[in-house]
Amino acid sequence: MRISKPYLRSTSIQCYLCFLLNSHFLTEAGIHVFVLGCISAALPKTEASWHDVIHDLKRIENLIQSIHIDATLYTESDVHPNCKITAMKCFLLELRVILHESRNVDIRETVTNVIFLANSSLSTNGNVTESGCKECEELEEKNIAEFLQSFVHIVQMFINTS
């Protein structure tokens, strides 16, 4: 089964543009445009979506039903809106535990995608400091199914405020 990676750009438009520009401008500037266009085609896009994160979390939920992962993860069950960034960072740290615990390629790829997408979406307010929020280690440890349900809930908080 192939996993979609929405953070990768479609390269066809950029490549066609590069070839078009290169055919008309066979100068040093044309070569620079060609090279830069090809490089930009491989760069990740910036508009990651929280909806894509939820889709991947649901996929992980489905995948773990057939695989036994015996992990308890620090889980924020009742996120205060003023602590959602802090809580999201904790969820992302705990996802790395799933990466470490799982040998399943589909789960590993999907978790990696979630981490990338969530970090991209957080980049606009990732430097915000929230006070009065619980540290990750202060949170209750829960099984992976409860962790994923809480994770979906916090992502929905980000969707509702955007």
What are the residues whose beta carbons fall under 8 Å from the beta carbon of 149, sequence distance 6 or more? none
**pLDDT confidence of residue 41:** 54
CA dihedral 9, 11, 16, 17 (to 10 degrees): 30
pLDDT greater at residue 56 or residue 102: 56
Return the domain boundaries, the chain.
Answer: 7-42, 50-161
CATH superfamily entry for domain 50-161:
Interleukin-15/Interleukin-21 (1.20.1250.70)
**pLDDT confidence of residue 102:** 86
**pLDDT confidence of residue 16:** 53
Tens digits of per-residue pLDDT, 7-52? 444 455 555 555 555 555 556 666 655 565 556 555 554 455 899 9
Tens digits of per-residue pLDDT, 57-95? 999 999 988 887 778 999 999 889 899 999 999 999 999
